[in-house]
Chains A and B, each alone.
Chain A
Amino acid sequence: MDILTQLIGGFAVALQPINLFWAFIGCALGTAVGVLPGIGPALTIALLLPVTAQVNPASAFIMFAGILYGALYGGSTTSILLNTPGESGSVMTALEGNRMARKGRGAAALATAAIGSFVAGTVGTLALTFLAPAIAELAFVFGPEDYFALMVLSFTSVAVVMGRSLVRGFAALFFGLALGTIGIDTQTGQTRMVFGMLELLDGVSFTVVLVSLFAIGETLYVASRHASAPAAINPLSGGHWMTRQDWARSWKPWLRGSVIGFPIGALPAGGTEIPTFLSYALERRLSKHPEEFGQGAIEGVAGPEAANNAAAAGILVPLLTLGLPSTATAAVLLAAFQNYGLQPGPMLFATNPDLLWGLIASLYTGNLILLILNLPLVGIWVRLLLIPRHYIYGGIVVFALVGVWGLSTSWMDLALMCGLGLIGYVARVYDFPIAPVLIGLILGPQAEIQLRRALAVSQDDWSVLVGTPISASLLAIAALVLIVPPLLAYRRRQAALGKERAAAAG
């Protein structure tokens, strides 16, 4: 058991008081930046890179890992309580989580998010410990056509389950796709849909869209509908802990979310968002209480929250085993390694085992620290909502401004915030789901790039899209997702009709 002895050696590093201290700092910082919209782990670690000049490598990476995990814990908090996700990985959490909070079950939602994050983080870390080299090989198996198929699957599974109307779901998705085409085309360098504005060359920032549609749209909506009504309408205060039934409904989504999240996170173009979309769609399909989805189903919080944490562990796989950065955060971590003159990869496991296994061991301790940090915080977070509502929403707008203005101090971003905030308001009033906009914006450009890469490599041979077993089966599943539910409904109707006829005849 070579791995076990090395892991134990790693714990010897991770459990040193100084490293526990850095882990704690990282976790606290990560939770804080996770709560703030627009300030993610990548930016935070990038800003902290100078500490690599002063701190020894093991401590620095233990802190950075804490930030990476902590951001995902923190991201769920504002999603659930205020319907304003702090990170792209928390968008799906807002859907059911905020509904739960509105029903006075905010504490249960926060708890299932925190425990789910812990479970998935631990499962992901276990997989990282024992399966990393094997999983890392996936990076070389997945080609552009496979990524494209994965994204098509995300589109269809989400569009089908989202919202009460297919047309409105697709309208939101296409709005997001349209926003995603703005800016310079990375494949050819042509500018697209910038309307002559230099600020748009780099595209519409995801943070601005996230903050505007959720935080600003929500603020405008609540102001217009409930400002004059007595505050008693707000049932957010207090809340009960998870009930026995909550546990029973949560544990399977936690595990399923972990299983979806880890391998996708490990892919160079996977990321933390796709697993949360797929997990949400899957839980909605599998739930025994599908009618509760959209009204605050706990499975819809447990699954995606687990998925994004497992994906975060997955991100470390190609980084540590191959030296491949797969997300912005991983790229910054790679820069940190290079600051120490280290190059992550198989060699590093041989030359710096203490550092690497210390880092892996710290993921276990970091997860525990985050759980201990976050469970008591649930009570405090929920109490935050006792602040008078006008101050909460005033504060949300100020922090939205921080996120948008701090991005690049661009007037254009402020204008976009205003316009998209209005669109977010209209979407709330006319019951358009918001999440597909963000899915379109995140995945649209990626899907386009992968499609065009696949076609460029194959020299315009479209059959390449079903050319590998992975892409063929993923596309087949995507087609089934789209076709089967209406088909089932049709057959049920036919069966019911048949029965009626039989009854009429008999």
Chain B
Amino acid sequence: MLKRLTMAGALVLGLGAVTALADPAKVMIPANPGGGWDGAGRHTMAAFAQSKVFADGASFTNKGGAAGTIGLAEFVRTAKGDDNALLVTGVIMVGGVITNKTPVSLADTTPLLRLTNEYNAIAVPANSPIKTPQDFIAALKADPSALSVGGGSAGGADHVMLALLAKQAGAPVAKINFVSFSGGEILAALGGGKIKAAISGASEFRQFAESGRIRIIAVSGPTRVDGINAPTLKESGIPVEIGNWRGFVGAPGMSDGAKKLWLERFAKLHETPAWKETLKTQGWEDAYLPGEKFNAFLKEEEANWTIALKEVGILK
């Protein structure tokens, strides 16, 4: 009995000593393991370690749900004033804060930077009569309810993009037929012709387009995407641009020194080959936007999303 206790005591002390040595980052991931934010957090910290820009390591807390707002609320509550606490964020959280009317917002944190971006694409079944972005707009205009369009969760970037397209088509946004899917189901439904079109991340569609099961008719970024033979919406005369950006914010009340230090670290990381390799394997676009510019960008995003969500009818 006593032996067991002393053993446990030794264990506690031993492990405690190991963890106390370094000064690791505490990264809050506002999503469950395996998703986009999880990848953004873990791969970024891995690139930090690999490039030796910041080698003290990182501990991760996954707190998923409600478009990241639960993780945000927890972060604001627990990390106050912690110079090593970071939160992964992104456009979905901006939308989530507005939709859920969360009592805390990104303004309560210390915004650091935008890091990556992924663009959406519109795809249709291989045998669809819709061949160009103009066809898609025409179909929306003719009867928005008859054009079932799959996408991610309601109120997300996919949903808002469809609403913006409907507005361009001059079709009533209230009549759009957005069908929410999760994971790979959307590809099966599209490939099997169960829905007429789908909006999702460009990289998700690519493989299926290559095997000829679906056709990508447009991408939503400012430029075409390597390996995808489809025009941008802009060059097709449809002024809609929507991306799924991700970035980092620091703890509420993070000291100015720490903020500067982290921005320097990210600036260094941004130049390393390790980070470039990460961008490539993950299929992320470099969307580095640090400091004050990011602050301004955040405000702009909040304003845009408030309008967009109202138009989609999610926000009353």
Contact = CB atoms under 8 A, between A and B. Distances in A.
Real binding pair = yes
Nearest to A456: B179
A453 interface: yes
B311 to A, nearest CB: 13
Contacts of B63: 408-409
Contact of A143 (B73, B145, B192, B208): B192
A139 B188 contact: yes
B154 interface: yes
Interface in A339-378: 339-341, 343, 345-347
Q: Size range of the interface on A?
A: 35 or more
Contact of B211 (A42, A49, A346): A346
A140 interface: yes
A361 B62 CA distance: 34
B66 A186 contact: no
Interface stretch (B34-42, B163-171, B229-237, B248-256): B34-42
| Most B Cβ at <10 Å: residue of A139, A185, A409 | A139
A326 B182 contact: no
Contacts of A199: 70
A186 B180 contact: yes
A202 B153 contact: no
Interface stretch (A111-119, A168-176, A328-336): A328-336
Interface stretch (A22-30, A73-81, A317-325, A485-493): A317-325
Interface in A179-204: 184-191, 198-199, 201-203
B292 interface: no
A139 B186 CA distance: 11
Contacts of B65: 201-203, 408
A203 B64 CA distance: 11
A326 B188 CA distance: 10
Contact of B180 (A46, A187, A346, A409): A187
A268 interface: yes
B8 interface: no
Nearest to B314: A189
Interface residues on B, range: 35 or more
A50 interface: yes
B33 A347 contact: no
A144 B194 contact: yes
B148 A338 contact: no
B153 A189 contact: yes
B208 A331 contact: no
A199 B210 CA distance: 41
A459 interface: yes
Interface string B177-216: 1011111110111011111000000000011101101000
A142 interface: yes
A461 B34 CA distance: 37
Contacts of A186: 153-154, 180, 182
B59 interface: no
A321 B16 CA distance: 46
A459 B145 contact: yes
B154 A185 contact: yes
Interface in B14-49: 33-34, 38-39, 42, 46
B146 interface: yes
A187 B185 contact: no
A346 B145 CA distance: 35
B58 to A, nearest CB: 11
Nearest to A457: B148
B34 A332 contact: yes
Contact of A453 (B179, B211, B283): B179
Contacts of A341: 280-281
B154 A456 contact: no
B110 interface: no
Contacts of A144: 189, 194
- With most chain A CB atoms within 10 A of its CB, the pick from B66, B185, B210, B314 is B185
* Residue from A53, A203, A322, A449 whose CB has the most chain B CB atoms within 10 Å: A322
A189 B154 contact: yes
Given A345-B211, A347-B207, A326 B184 contact: yes
B184 A42 contact: no
A47 B185 contact: no
Given A43-B33, A49-B42, A268-B185, A201 B69 contact: yes
A201 B155 contact: no
A281 B111 CA distance: 55
Interface string B301-312: 000000000000
Contacts of B314: 188-190
Contact of A198 (B102, B153, B179): B102
A140 B34 contact: no
A269 interface: yes
A268 B188 contact: yes
B128 interface: no
Given A191-B100, A346-B211, A453-B179, A324 B66 contact: no
A503 interface: no
Interface in B78-126: 99-100, 102-103
10 contacts: A188-B154, A189-B154, A198-B69, A198-B73, A322-B208, A326-B185, A331-B184, A332-B34, A343-B206, A408-B70
Given A185-B154, A186-B153, A199-B70, 11 more contacts: A46-B33, A187-B179, A198-B69, A198-B102, A322-B208, A324-B187, A325-B184, A335-B39, A345-B211, A408-B63, A408-B65
Q: Lowest 9 A-B CB distances belong to which pairs?
A: A202-B65, A46-B33, A140-B192, A201-B66, A189-B155, A189-B154, A324-B184, A139-B188, A332-B34
